[in-house]
Amino acid sequence: MRRYFSRKLLIYGLTFFVAVTVNWMIPRFMPGDPVASMVARANVNKPEAVEAMRAYYTGLFGLDQPLWQQYANFWGALLRGDFGVSIWLFPTPVSEVITRAVPYTLALIVPSVLLSWVVGNRFGAYAARRRLLDNTVLPVGYVLTAMPYMWLAVLLAWAFGVILGWFPVAGGYSFSMRPNWSVTFLLDLLHHWALPFLSLFLVALGGWAIGMRNMIIYELESDYSNYLAALGAPSRLIRRYAFRNAVLPQITGLALQLGVLVAGALVTEIVFAYPGLGSLILKAIQNKDFFLLQGTFLFIVLGVLIANFIIDIVYVVVDPRTRAGMAGAQA
- Judged by CB under 8 A, the residue of 283, 311, 315, 326 near other proteins is 283
Element (H, E) at 170: none
Count of CB atoms within 10 A of residue 167's CB? Answer: 19
Amino acid identity, position 89: L
Among 127, 205, 254, 305, binds other proteins (CB under 8 A): 305
**Residue 81 C-alpha from the chain's centroid:** 21
Asked if 118 interacts with other proteins (CB under 8 A), we say yes
For residue 321, state whether it binds other proteins (rule: CB under 8 A): yes
- Decide: is 158 part of the binding site for other proteins (CB under 8 A): yes
- The β-bridge partners of 93 are 85
Residues that contact other proteins, how many (by CB under 8 A): 158
Instruction: Say how far apart CA 308 and CA 28 lie, in whole Å.
Output: 29
Per DSSP, 93 falls in state B
Residue 21 binds other proteins, judged by CB under 8 A: no
Q: Residues with Cβ < 8 Å from 193, sequence gap 6 or more?
A: 107, 108, 172
Nearest distance from C-beta of residue 73 to other proteins, angstroms: 19
Binding positions for other proteins, 202-261, rule CB under 8 A: 210, 214, 217-218, 221-224, 226-234, 236-237, 240-241, 243-245, 247-248, 256, 258-260
Taking CB under 8 A as the rule, does residue 193 contact other proteins?
yes
Among 9, 139, 313, 329, binds other proteins (CB under 8 A): 139
- Beta-bridged to residue 85, according to DSSP, are 93
CB of 161 to other proteins, least distance (A): 6
Is residue 191 involved in binding other proteins (CB under 8 A)? no
Cis peptide before 139 (omega within 30 of 0): no
Write down the least CB distance from residue 65 to other proteins, Å. Answer: 19
